Amino acid sequence: MARPGAACPPPARRVMVAARALLFWALVYSYCGTFRWVVRENPPSCLNDPSLGTHCYVRIKDSGLRFHYVAAGERGKPLMLLLHGFPEFWYSWRHQLREFKSEYRVVALDLRGYGETDAPPHKENYKLDCLIADIKDILESLGYNKCVLIGHDWGGMIAWLVAICYPEMVTKLIVVNFPHPSVFTEYILRHPSQLIKSGYYFFFQMPWFPEFMFTLNDFKVLKSLFTSQATGIGRKGCRLTAEDIEAYLYVFSQPGALTGPINHYRTIFSCLPLQHHEVIMPTLLLWGERDAFMEVEMAEITRIYVKNHFRLTILSEASHWLQQDQPDIVNKLIWTFLKEETKRKRE
Which positions are annotated as active-site residues? Answer: 153, 265, 320
Backbone angles phi, psi at 248, to 5 degrees: -65, -40
Which H or E element spans position 220?
helix 209-227
Closest CA to 87 of 262, 244, 284, 316: 262
Neighbours of 166 (CB within 10 A): 16
Q: Return the amino acid letter for 46.
A: C
Beta pairing, strands 79-83 & 105-109: parallel
- Give the separation between CA 101 and CA 80, rounded to whole angstroms: 9
Sequence-distant (6+) residues with CB within 8 A of 15 are none
Cis amide bond preceding 273, omega within 30: yes
Backbone angles phi, psi at 38, to 5 degrees: -95, 120
Closest CA to 105 of 144, 63, 160, 57: 144
- Give the separation between CA 107 and CA 82, rounded to whole angstroms: 6
Closest CA to 147 of 111, 104, 89: 104
**Distance set, CA 256 to CA 59, 146, 261, 347 (Å):** 21, 33, 10, 52
Closest CA to 106 of 169, 57, 148, 163: 148
Q: Strand, coil or helix: what is 155?
A: helix
Neighbours of 54 (CB within 10 A): 9
Cis amide bond preceding 9, omega within 30: no
